[in-house]
Each structure stands twice: as structure tokens, then as C-alpha cells.
Structure 1
Amino acid sequence: MKTSKLLFSAIAMMLLLICTTTLSAQDEAPKRPEFIAVTTNHWNMDKEDFKMSEWKAAQKEYFEKVIMKNEYLMGHNMYLHNMTADNTEFLTVNSFASWEDIGKFGQRSAELEKEAWPDEAKRKAFFKNLGSYYANEHSDEIYAPINGVKLMSEKPTKDMVCYVRRSHFAFPEDGTMEEFNNLRMEGNAGIVQKNEYVKFYSPLVHAWGSDKTEFLEAFYLESLADLDKMWERDDELMKETFPDTEENRVKGKAWGKYFTGVHGDYLYTWIHDLSK
């Protein structure tokens, strides 16, 4: 296998020590997850008595009795479809301190479920009701956080818009991790960190799943109206950070070689009160 092919397979496992599990910064350096598991679920469109308020009440009960008490789960977030190709999808995103904790998480959840609903009949009834909102199919991907996260000063008290950009690595023959990271972090410092409309930012790379070329960037905004404002501010900051010089034109060409040029855009609603 060529060295360049190994390069970006390794990116998913490099610098795993680098992101935060929550949306807010703390006085001390936050603990950082090594893995982010993303589960794409789908609503049961055949459910006749579907009520979003009742689903959320049941989901919140599970969140408080199980999710918040599971010590193997560093972070938990849920996202509803806003503007994506599939209006039935919603995402559950869990963060873990280690690979071992992913396995321990399921076992601990089962224990907490029995503690929360000790009566077996009531437990079965609760999960039958909650499960009736979901279709049978789902998919799972595991990502690794990398450096460049932008933190909030405090956890939000309302839902937010989450814009996700999914790019793809191109595996250049002359690429190096050092060059890639230097270019990425220069742009991150001059653009992402300075854009006041981006309240939180998290970059992720493939660790385990269907597509090793994936590079995900999640931008959290206060409103949908701020999306255009974010892009306009990006253009301003781009000109400030990389003025039109021969040196920066060389940097732009170098950066572009790491990607195929194809990307996808997705908008979700982050649910603030179902977030750990």
C-alpha cells in the first residue's frame, strides 16, 4: 500500500486527544473524548398517533434516568432534521473516553434501565411506547475528534442550528500530516475562531465506518438567519487572513490538493435539553 494511502487513514487516529465533550469551556481544560459515535435513526412514519411532544417527554425521561447517570458516556446530543435529504432522520451522537467505554456503555445502560423501571411490565411498556416512534433501520459511524474546536463560554439554554459540512480527502501523493495540519490550523485561527456567528465548532475525521475519506465540520449557530452571515463573515476573514499574495496562492493550492472538491451540506436542530 502506498504511503500516501496510509497518511489519511492515520489522520483518523492521530491527535485523538484534542476535542471537548461538551459545548462549553470550563475553568480547567476539559476532558476530551477519543471517539464520537453517530447513530442515524428514522421516525416511524406509519405511527398514527405520533405526537412530538409525547416523544420528547418519553425521551427526556430516559435521558434523565439513564443517559445522565451512565458514567461511561462523556457526552450525548440529539439532532433533528432541518434541511437534509431525508426528513425522517434524526441523529444521536455519543462521545466516549476510550474504545473500551463504548462496550461498557451498553451494559451500564441496561443496568440503569432496570434500576429506573424495576417493574418488568412497566419497563416493557415504557420501551414499547418509546420504540413505537422509531423505524427499525438505523446506521452507525464512529469518528475521531481532532484539534481546532471552538468552545462556548457556557452551555446554551435554547435549541441551536447545527450546520454540518462533509468533505472528502483526496490522498495526495505529495501530502504530509504536518503540512495538512499547519494549513488547517492557520485557517482555523484566522477564520473559524474569529467568526462571531460560529458559537461552537467541532472537526471530526473517520475512525470506523463506511467511508475513510470523510472529514466532518460542525458549526453551531444561534439561528438559521446566521448561516448567511457566517459565510459573509468567512469571506471577510479569509481576505484578512490570506490576502492575495503569491505565498497565499501557493498555500491555497496546497490546501486544495488534500480534498476531492466534493462536499455535502446538512442542517440539523440541536436539542439543548437532551444534551449531556
Structure 2
Amino acid sequence: MKTIHYKFLVVLLFFLAQGNLLFAQEEKTHYLTVTTMHWNTEIENFSLEDWKKMEKEYFDKVVMKNELILGSNVVSHYFTADNTEIVFVTLYENWDAIDKAWTRTQELVKQAWPDEKVRTAFFQKRRSYYDNVHSDEIYVTMPEAKRMDKIADKQMIYYVRKSYFEYPKEGTEKEFDELNKQYTDAVTRKNDFIKAYYTYAHGWGSNSTDFVEVYVIESLGDLEKAFAKDDELFKAQWKEEKKRDEFDKKMGKYFTKTHSDYIYRSIVGLEK
């Protein structure tokens, strides 16, 4: 995907990212929070099934009933630098909704577990699955997404590419948007191996130049096929090598020469 062709350099996350998050079709800016947790590697007799059962209970009783949460997803490490990563991604309509959703969550928690002792026990048990360290990022959604028609009923692969913006003097927002749309329309939307594609820019976090792309693929094997199809479609749209080089040069000036790649797996049943 934007292998050599800078096709909108991408994170996630969360990471990630995002993937099956569904929201309005108009190009409206939304906010995405990405919380990266880590498995508690000291827990004895760890059961992925028991963990999922607890998270599913919380998901059904709180996340699904919180009208301020437009979308939610959970993905886990597949090929990343840290095998303990478990990433929680949540979509909101605007910045204010993030705070209001937290308040609404507290209300729903008390409704779902009215007995304080039962509630405390549930959340202590839930918390025991994770390490004490976590990180948070907030991203702003960008236009030209390729969305899935519905939430997948099977595990999907999330390829996340994090790149970093440059701000060239000769560049303009108009040119950037036009180049992005040209590539997305000619390549990404036509690539059947790419089931969904999302882009995010820094909203709040450690690096203000972050640019994250998330590709949703059915399998790891299809990821390589998607790369090859991207190249084929790119050459079909810009048939002359000179034209391809010109496009790459125009797009390339908006990004640094470095990027990082991550691959995650979705957790089926924990998607809104």
C-alpha cells in the first residue's frame, strides 16, 4: 500500500486502529481515542476465553449502551515490537463527547452492577488481566476512507502504518487533498483485498506530526496480495513511468523518509 508510492503513509493503531468502525458516510471529522494496554504476564493460569468473557460482558452492558460511543474495536498483537499489546479504539463525534461518554459510562456501570461489592469484584478481576502501564493517544479522522458495509463476523488483520508529516513551503492543503483523493480513488477503492481503509492525524499525544493509515485485510496472506494489487493499479492509472515518478515526488514531499509498521488481529465480538 503506499509501498513506494507514498499512498498515504500511515497507526494506529491502533493501532491501531480501527478497522471496522462504522460512522456517517459524509466526510465529517470525528475523534478517535487509542488506549494501548499490556497483558499482565505474571497472571497464573491465564485464560483468553475467560478474559474475553469478561470483556464481552462489559462491552454488552456498557459500550453498546453508551450512545456517545459511535464505534469501538479491540485488537491484539500479531507482528509488533511488543507481544503484550492489546489496543482499545473508540470513536466519538467530537472532542466534547469524549468527556461526556466517560460520565455516561460511569452511569451505565452502576446500572449494570448495582451492588457495590459485586461491581468492585468484577472490575478488580477485569483489571488483573492487564499490566499497570498503558498509553493514550487521540487522533482526528481524515477524509477518503474506504468503509466496510458491516462489522466482520470473523477475525480480521489490521495493517497499520505510521508516518510523519513534513510541511514543505511549496506545498498546499489543496494539493495534498487532491493527491490523496486521486490515489485513493484509483488504487485503494479498487483493491478488493483491502476491505477497509482509514486515515488519522494527530489530535493529542506525543508527536504532532503523526499520520496513521489502517488497512483491514482478511488474512495475512492477502496482505502481500494487496501490496501487489496496489502496484498493479498504480501503474494502470499512471501508465508512464515519468507520470508515476512525478506523482511520487509530489506526494513524497509531504512526509518524512521514515515510517513504522504494525500488524494486529481483531477480537471478534468486541466491535461496535
Same fold (TM over 0.5): yes
Distance across 2 between alignment mates of 1:59 and 1:260: 39
Residue number among 85, 100, 104 corresponding to 1:89 in the alignment: 85
Q: Deviations over 1:57-79 (max 9, x none)?
A: 00000000011111111111000
RMSD after superposition: 1.8
In the alignment, structure 1 segments of 5+ residues that lack a partner are 1-19
Q: Deviations over 1:179-198 (max 9, x none)?
A: 11111110111111000000
Amino acid at match of 2:150: E
Q: 1:32 to 1:172 in 2, by over 3 A?
A: closer
Distance across 2 between alignment mates of 1:171 and 1:33: 21
Aligned to 1:171: 167
Distance across 2 between alignment mates of 1:127 and 1:120: 11
Distance across 2 between alignment mates of 1:247 and 1:232: 19
Q: Deviations over 1:162-191 (max 9, x none)?
A: 000111112212111011111111011111
In the alignment, structure 2 segments of 5+ residues that lack a partner are 1-17
Counterpart contact for 2:195–2:218, Cα < 8 Å: yes
Distance across 2 between alignment mates of 1:264 and 1:188: 21
Counterpart contact for 2:21–2:73, Cα < 8 Å: no
Amino acid at match of 1:208: W
Aligned to 2:98: 102
Residue number among 237, 243, 253 corresponding to 2:239 in the alignment: 243
Q: Secondary structure at the match of 1:273?
A: coil
Aligned to 1:136: 132
TM superposition score normalised by structure 2: 0.89
Amino acid at match of 1:192: T
Q: 1:23 to 1:114 in 2, by over 3 A?
A: closer
Residue number among 29, 39, 43 corresponding to 2:35 in the alignment: 39
Amino acid at match of 2:111: E
Q: 1:232 to 1:183 in 2, by over 3 A?
A: same
Q: How many pairs does the alignment contain?
A: 255
Counterpart contact for 1:24–1:154, Cα < 8 Å: yes
Residue 194 of structure 2 corresponds to residue 198 of structure 1: yes
Aligned to 2:14: none
Counterpart contact for 2:151–2:271, Cα < 8 Å: no
Aligned to 1:118: 114
